[in-house]
Amino acid sequence: MSRIANTKIATGVFWVEVPEAELYVLCGCPADSVKHLMKAGKIRNLDRDVGSLEPGSGSFQHPHGTVTNETGPNAILLSDLNIQNGDFANLAEFPVLQMLYRQGMLLPNHPNNTGAKPFIIGHKNMVNAQMEYIHRGNYGLTSLEEILDAGIPQKQAEEMMRIKLHFAFGAVRPSSDLLEARIVDHEPVEILNGVHIARKSMNCYEFTYKDESSEINLNLSHDERYETPYELKNHHFKRDYFSIAHTGEGDGWDINRPCMASVISYQGKIFLIDAGPNIALTLNAIGVDVNEVEGIFHTHAHDDHFAGLTTLARANHRIKYYSTALVRASVTKKLSPLLSISENEFEKYFEVCDLVFDKWNNIDGLEVRPVFSPHPVETNILYFRTLWENGYATYAHLADIASHDVLTKMVEVDKKLPGISPKLKKKVWEDYLSPVQVKKIDIGGGIIHGKAKDFLTDKSDKIILAHTAHTLTKDEEKIGCGVTFGSTDILIEGHEDYALQAGGNYLRGYYPNAEESEIHMLLNCKREPVSAGTILLKDQEKPEHVILVLTGVAELLSTNDKTHFQLSSGTLIGDLPVLFGLKSTGTFRALTYVEILKIPAVLFKEFVNRHRLLGQIKKTQNTIGFLRQTWLFGESISTPVQSQIAQKMKLRKYEKGASITCEGLMLVKDGKVELSDSGTEMQNSRNEVVEKGDFWGCEQMILNKALNSNAIALASSFIYSIAETEILEQIPIVRWKLLEQAHKRA
């Protein structure tokens, strides 16, 4: 019988166990890796006496719910890469919480608390980054000075620090107090009881024990993405004047549902409340494209509300980020070690719009009032309202909150001791119970989440119970209700055609000099709702219409080039084939529920000719066609932006053996180029071959340092260069992909 068991749990997630050495390793920890382990049976409840540790019995009760007695890993092997194919590769916060609390490794008197600490294993840079990220995930801002720097007045900051110290059991502790680091390079390192690990190459590791060995490869192929532990049914989210789509009622341990979240439609614009793991799946399931998202309202930085920021950073515009400066400071200090970027880089991906506590902040008629909520990390709950015929239509989103029992126990009059003042406790509770039309509340329990019973006297018209993995009890159902994924509360029905308005904006962006009457001529063409999976244009088909995607997400499948890209709302499909009598160079299909506008070919060609646009389009059509087939520029970037990029590109030919000078961003149109970046020692030199559609350069823009890559043409090659990179800096999804590639090469 083998001493080392190696099991694939999900894409990029593996389980290595050496029972004889009492070592159980989670290899790879993207979002929701704990849920994958639960589904695979590697985490399960044990029927074993845990002494006095009954729910609610002690100060060390599990902070994300009641005390449990579970099996699971005692070590985590990290990816060498921060990001893989657009998603965080290392999110160890919830696996660490599972080990410390749900397994009981940190709980006094728990049978699993033997004094041994969980192991964090990996490359030095990754281990150090995870230690900092976990530290920020535990505490958020870690000093009075950091709270003051976020603009909080002295007395309020001092009380916030007292609250933080209460949740931290009196002291902010470094991650090294809770976790044992194992730094791994090419030489074997012992983890535990004779089990060794060595790094063979990037993301490839070998475990050895006695006379056995087993290898792990954490790399994703170019067409792989980290998996979600659940499936979601497709819904049509109608853009209304003011409505709330319920897109998450679970928590970080719920294997069947997304974490607590909502999507707001206001005057047809889309806003998110929080961005938990798998937010891309959530948006696709309700037929919303990330490029349709106007902004995100953010409550706090715990992973179940935070991990989806990667998706929002992959839009073609900077999505507006709405939260208080206090929460934003906590978020950026947690995000920066995950991405190895400075805190001020956050504004390169999001348009920061700070909100003021306890004030109605007006956002084009949608008003939001953030309210401080006591929590281990900086948190604001959110109240929304907008004026309507009988006063205001109102919604409240209460994640994460503390129960009344916990707040009462926190009350401490002595300002030198951890706790909360009676005055602030009274204000917090009045804020929690402020009545609205629809209120979603956290009932996760434990010492950092709410309880349904506390809202028994709440006068809100409708209460939704969320942030829990358990089935609602009869007593809870007397207070509030559960809702199914995708269900919607329409607070003000919309009577305008918001999808068509969006279509008009897209067309004006494409053709800014066109007469308004002719834009309306195109908008008067036939519209169709299309179900997910429907083919819009087949490969090698001559299109009879140009299709404008009004809402939702389409995708391009190119058989010859083996490319697979998502296409955002606002994309024109078939425009170049219609104008130049060409066949489609790929299959276009609806990835989600979409609405499309079908413009007849004859009408579209006449429109273009009238505005003398054909010459300009012809100049760049080949370049645009090439850009659409590349990983860097093919996904979620509209034709007007692709056209702007194409106009900045210069094409040069290099003969075999020629040295190529890097001028900004270099993109291979055809041929083969070898990149080398020699270190101070021969064994540190790295070689990489790039081919059609690949790129290099821009490291200075992304990492603030050059990698000094030497480039030699291995064959006769045509290379595009973009020396003026300012346009690239303004496209978040391009910056994000450049960051991911730079990490691989650095």
Q: Among 603-612, 614-623, 626-635, which is the least confidently predicted range?
A: 614-623
Is it the case that residue 492 has pLDDT exceeding 80? yes
Can you tell me whether residue 411 is helix, strand or coil? strand
Per-residue pLDDT, 53: 38
Please report whether residue 635 resides in a domain. Answer: no
Which among 465, 492, 519 is the end of a domain?
492
Residues 283 and 192 in one domain: no
Distance of CA 388 to the CA centre of its chain: 34
Per-residue pLDDT, 620: 79
Average pLDDT over residues 256-266: 97
Residues 527 and 488 in one domain: no
Residues 109 and 253 in one domain: no
Task: Tokens for 121, please give them.
Answer: 């294993």
Please report whether residue 140 resides in a domain. Answer: no
CA proximity to 200, closest of 212, 185, 213: 185
Both ends of the chain: CA-CA distance in Å? 41
Please report whether residue 200 resides in a domain. Answer: yes
Residue 533 has φ and ψ, to the nearest 5°, of 95, -10
At 403-418, the pLDDT tens digits run 999 999 999 999 999 9
Task: Tokens for 343, please give them.
Answer: 């805190």
Residues 26 and 53 in one domain: yes
Per-residue pLDDT, 34: 97
Q: How far is CA 232 from CA 257, 281, 297, 444, in A?
A: 8, 8, 23, 22
Is it the case that residue 513 has pLDDT exceeding 90? no
At 326-384, the pLDDT tens digits run 999 999 999 999 988 889 999 999 999 999 999 999 999 999 999 999 999 999 999 99
Residues 590 and 719 in one domain: no
The rounded distance, in Å, linking the Cα atoms of 243 and 354 is: 23
At 660-677, the pLDDT tens digits run 998 889 999 999 999 987
- Within 8 A by CB and 6+ apart from 705, the residues are 699
| Residue positions counted in the chain | 746
Confidence of residue 422 (pLDDT cuts 50, 70, 90): very high
Per-residue pLDDT, 67: 52
Per-residue pLDDT, 269: 96
Which among 492, 519, 542 is the end of a domain?
492
Q: Among 8-17, 144-153, 670-679, which is the least confidently predicted range?
A: 670-679
Task: Tokens for 532, please give them.
Answer: 């997910």
Average pLDDT over residues 261-275: 97
Per-chain mean pLDDT for the chain = 91
Identify the domain containing residue 556 by its residue range: 498-612
Please report whether residue 232 resides in a domain. Answer: no
Residues 113 and 45 in one domain: yes
Residues 263 and 345 in one domain: yes
- CATH (domain of 707): 2.60.120.10
Confidence of residue 50 (pLDDT cuts 50, 70, 90): very low
| Largest separation between any pair of C-alpha atoms in the chain | 82
Residues 546 and 436 in one domain: no
Average pLDDT over residues 181-190: 93
Residues 295 and 407 in one domain: yes
Is it the case that residue 58 has pLDDT exceeding 60? no
Per-residue pLDDT, 191: 97
Residues 505 and 543 in one domain: yes
Task: Tokens for 519, please give them.
Answer: 């834009």
The rounded distance, in Å, linking the Cα atoms of 353 and 362 is: 11
Per-residue pLDDT, 562: 63
Please report whether residue 138 resides in a domain. Answer: no
Neighbour tally for 685: CB within 10 Å: 11
Determine contact, residues 543/537, Cβ cutoff 8 Å: yes
Which secondary structure element, helix H or strand E, spans residue 432, and what is its range?
helix 422-432
Per-residue pLDDT, 56: 31
Where does residue 563 fall: left (phi above 0), alpha (psi -120 to 50 degrees), or beta otherwise? beta
Residues 580 and 475 in one domain: no
Q: Across-strand partners of 382?
A: 370, 397
Number of structural domains found in the chain: 4
- CATH (domain of 341): 3.60.15.10
Confidence of residue 91 (pLDDT cuts 50, 70, 90): very high
CA angle (242 as vertex; 265, 237 as ends), nearest 5:
40
Per-residue pLDDT, 615: 78
The upper half-sphere exposure of residue 499, i.e. CA atoms within 13 Å in the direction of its Cβ, equals: 21
Per-residue pLDDT, 333: 97
Please report whether residue 162 resides in a domain. Answer: no
Please report whether residue 157 resides in a domain. Answer: no
Could you give the percent of the chain with pLDDT greater than 90? Answer: 76
Distance of CA 738 to the CA centre of its chain: 17
Going across the sheet that includes 75-77, the strands are: 5-10, 13-18, 23-27, 75-77, 119-122, 180-183
Which among 492, 509, 534 is the end of a domain?
492
At 530-587, the pLDDT tens digits run 999 999 999 999 999 999 999 999 999 876 656 678 888 988 999 989 999 999 988 9
Per-residue pLDDT, 589: 95
The rounded distance, in Å, linking the Cα atoms of 308 and 30 is: 11
The rounded distance, in Å, linking the Cα atoms of 204 and 197 is: 11
Residues 412 and 351 in one domain: yes
Please report whether residue 152 resides in a domain. Answer: no
